[in-house]
Structure 1
Amino acid sequence: MNAPGPAAAADDASAATASARAAQAERAGPDAVHVARAALTRLTEPGDEAVGRWLRELGPVALWRALVGECAPPPGASPRRLAGCALRADRLDPAADLAAVEALGGRFICPGDPEWPSQLDDLGDARPIGLWARGRASLRTWALRSVAVVGARACTEYGTHIAATLGSGLAERGWVVTSGAAYGVDGAAHRGALGADGATIAVLASGVNIPYPRGHAELIDRVAEQGVVVAELPPDSHPTRSRFVLRNRVIAALTRGTVVVEAQYRSGSLVTARWAQRLGRCVMGVPGPVTSGLSEGVHELLRGEGVLISDADEVVELIGAMGDLAPARRGPVVGRDLLAPAAGRVLDALPARGTADTRALARSAGMSHDETLTKLYELLSLGFVERARDRWELTRAERRTGSSRRGGS
């Protein structure tokens, strides 16, 4: 029999090292679950439902050992998947990852922990293996009153303004603003909440110590100081296109509802909205110009199950407690809106230009002469009409108001 080559020997050594760490974790007691789940966040990719099913069937420690070759592979695991896990096994050091996040003032939160947001369990086998977090606030408590504000990276000034206004408005009403810390709408929403001294959660597609985009390093640090930064990936992990897409399911599940502000047809924020719909969360959209490509995705959402909103009050009305109603919407109230019906009929009977006598006004208003005269003196005292000898006319101010009202739609 030929002796194994250097590559095979290196693979065997890596597997042996990973297996030893898995065995050590199993003997470690209650913390073994955290160590194993931390290892699995580096061995596997987020949102893998096969991994979620194996976790449910085998448990985290047994799954870790199976994936690194310590015992029989998980049922249905392909050779290609096992080979990929073997390549990652030599970089496994979950204790170092846990120490790294602790050095940042953070922690690793697992299902079953007091801080675990139970609404993430709605994802089923696609739920996160665990969440790496920076920030002092309780993720579970904040997620109970959280709303996602997402949208285009290359948004317009309108989108930036709306996202920031929503962020500050929701924060002022005691809601936690959750987003992905990206350029555009995400960043504006976070800044709006921070500017109102409010609560905000950033869900990253990288490790919590790898700010992405780089231009938002300061913003992400501010979120960590004033709110919470979370990620599925262990420290030092970098984002990929697929990780951004998978990150969106966490944003949708973590929150009570999702608001989309500007999105093209292929926008990643629509992935968040679809996940929210699938999970039974409220999905909302802010309309924009029908000529804007950046609003096409939002308008398509609104043609389906999405609900049109224009401000934070309307968001709270949809996702808040019973009785959290948005204020009634109406145009400006003018003086004649407050008149009693009879006085209003007499005022409407007066010509826009010129004068009229009491008899003609009574006939036009369908009232008696004496009642019409009474209402005319009432209108005179309120500043709507003037008397010209035995005739009546509108005041100059009322003529201007009346002409603008007649000219409107």
Structure 2
Amino acid sequence: MTEEERLARAALTRVGEPGDEAVNRWLDRYGAVDTLKALGSETPLPGVSRARWAGLRQRARGLDPEADLRAVDGAGGRFLCPGDPEWPSQLDDLGDGRPVGLWVRGRASLRLWALRSVAVVGARACTDYGAHVAATLGSSLAARGWTVISGAAYGVDGAAHNGALAVDGATVGVLACGVDVAYPPGNGSLIHRIGEQGLLVAELPPGDHPTRSRFVLRNRVIAALARGTVVVEAELRSGSLVTARRSLALGRVTMGVPGPVTSGLSAGVHQLLRGEGIVVTDAAEIIELVGSIGELAPEKRGPILPRDLLAPEAARVLEALPARDAIGTAEVAHAAALTEERALVRLQELRSLGFLEHSGGRWQLARRASGHPKR
């Protein structure tokens, strides 16, 4: 891409809103330089009304992309365009809604980090449970070499980022403002740390501030960047579910962590899981879904009890013993459907293993100090 095209794309990030499909169609058809020049004319380019064209022309007045590039450079960042070596090609899956360019702050390669990445999103006003789960997922994924992507917001987003940073892992914050703007202000120190240790990414140029619609629009970038999205706590009406729906539409693995059925903050997640979402409870299960062949989560089992190790016949004999009374060998044999000789062999085996006691020719379950059968 020529320097003139790069400057024009940087300028256009101040003209259209993120994901503006009309602007992207013009870029494909005319290129960035000619699209920017066309904004000097009163004749609209195809696909927009005169009123909309007038609004875009208003924004196009007084643009200074060189100043924006100097500003991002001063903040330790850069401007990426489609086709650059660092450009994550999966963003092109957004079609006409793909970013015109990306303003990036941080030293790592966005393309390389995004190749092995998971988005962890959820409620801003999350519960302690949600914060704990998000932080645990963030640290566990990062410790296993996965990049944690989120939106640097309060609640689940911040917890996921903090979890990754706590283990010196890779994390990417996708902002709805410029990469030099700390929003929300209460996460200023976290956003600064992400910029120092990880990556900050934005479609909006330096100094631009967020709006309600821009938060929704940036969610599509989170979904497209990651190989999969995990939702940790979300109400039925939630921006996190917008990210999940985008993830599903893009063919990405979309997952949810279940919560209490009595919690409204888990209702949106449960709705997702009733559809195409997949239940996950830890990082290993997430990696099994989004990772390479062979990255399987360990099978989860309950504790193994001593009686679980018994041969089937011995287990049947043990089941034949009543909970409190003592019985003779013939009664055991009858209850276990064995001959007396065979039952006696198994009874003696069970006594040697500490399951039974034998007194006066009768058998009973061995009892611990608590008085409960040793089963």
Normalising by structure 1, we get a TM-score of 0.88
The corresponding residue for 2:210 is 239
Question: Is the contact between residue 173 and residue 201 of structure 2 (CA under 8 Å) also seen in structure 1?
Answer: yes
Match of 2:172 among 201, 205, 225: 201
- Give the deviation of 1:344 after TM superposition: 0.7
Match of 2:244 among 263, 273, 277: 273
Distance 1:32 1:273, change over 3 A: same
The corresponding residue for 2:32 is 60
The corresponding residue for 1:224 is 195
- Please say if 1:35 is aligned against 2:7: yes
What is the SS of the residue equivalent to 1:38?
Answer: helix
Match of 1:145 among 101, 108, 116: 116
The corresponding residue for 2:259 is 288
The corresponding residue for 2:18 is 46
Does 312-321 or 116-125 show the bigger shift? Answer: 312-321
Does 320-329 or 207-216 show the bigger shift? Answer: 320-329
Which structure has the bigger radius of gyration? 1
The corresponding residue for 1:343 is 314
One-letter amino acid of the counterpart of residue 97, structure 2: A
The corresponding residue for 1:89 is 60
Counterparts of residues 3-402 of structure 1 (less than 5 Å): 30-69=2-41, 73-397=44-368
Distance 1:230 1:247, change over 3 A: same
Does 235-244 or 309-318 show the bigger shift? Answer: 309-318
User: What whole-Å deviation, never above 9, does each CA across 1:282-338 have from its counterpart, x for those lacking one?
Assistant: 111111122211111111111111111111111111111122222212221110001
- Give the distance between the partners of 1:264 and 1:243, measured in 2 at CA: 20
What is the SS of the residue equivalent to 1:396?
Answer: coil
Query: Unaligned stretches of 5+ in structure 1?
Result: 1-28
Question: Is the contact between residue 365 and residue 373 of structure 2 (CA under 8 Å) also seen in structure 1?
Answer: no
- Give the deviation of 1:227 after TM superposition: 1.1
What is the SS of the residue equivalent to 1:132?
Answer: strand
Does 369-378 or 163-172 show the bigger shift? Answer: 369-378
Does 312-321 or 81-90 show the bigger shift? Answer: 81-90
- Give the distance between the partners of 1:393 and 1:68, measured in 2 at CA: 97
One-letter amino acid of the counterpart of residue 6, structure 2: H
Question: Is the contact between residue 352 and residue 399 of structure 1 (CA under 8 Å) also seen in structure 2?
Answer: no
The corresponding residue for 1:25 is none
What is the SS of the residue equivalent to 2:222?
Answer: helix
Query: Unaligned stretches of 5+ in structure 2?
Result: none
- Give the distance between the partners of 2:64 and 2:146, measured in 1 at CA: 38
One-letter amino acid of the counterpart of residue 271, structure 2: E
Does 161-170 or 235-244 show the bigger shift? Answer: 161-170
Normalising by structure 2, we get a TM-score of 0.96
The corresponding residue for 1:13 is none
**Percent identity between the two aligned chains:** 65
Does 72-81 or 52-61 show the bigger shift? Answer: 72-81
What is the SS of the residue equivalent to 1:76?
Answer: coil
One-letter amino acid of the counterpart of residue 255, structure 1: A
One-letter amino acid of the counterpart of residue 156, structure 1: T
- Give the distance between the partners of 2:260 and 2:209, measured in 1 at CA: 36
One-letter amino acid of the counterpart of residue 45, structure 2: P
- Give the deviation of 1:368 after TM superposition: 1.8
- Give the distance between the partners of 1:38 and 1:265, measured in 2 at CA: 37
- Give the distance between the partners of 1:91 and 1:300, measured in 2 at CA: 47
What is the SS of the residue equivalent to 2:47?
Answer: coil
Distance 1:220 1:149, change over 3 A: same
What is the SS of the residue equivalent to 2:368?
Answer: helix
Does 85-94 or 362-371 show the bigger shift? Answer: 85-94
Task: Spell out structure 1 runs of 4+ moving beyond 4 A.
Answer: 398-403
Distance 1:401 1:103, change over 3 A: farther
**Matched pairs, number:** 375
- Give the distance between the partners of 1:286 and 1:122, measured in 2 at CA: 26
The corresponding residue for 1:22 is none
Question: Is the contact between residue 68 and residue 85 of structure 1 (CA under 8 Å) also seen in structure 2?
Answer: no
Question: Is the contact between residue 384 and residue 398 of structure 1 (CA under 8 Å) also seen in structure 2?
Answer: no
The Cα RMSD (Å) is: 1.7
One-letter amino acid of the counterpart of residue 264, structure 1: E
- Give the distance between the partners of 2:291 and 2:62, measured in 1 at CA: 45
One-letter amino acid of the counterpart of residue 272, structure 1: T
What is the SS of the residue equivalent to 1:380?
Answer: helix
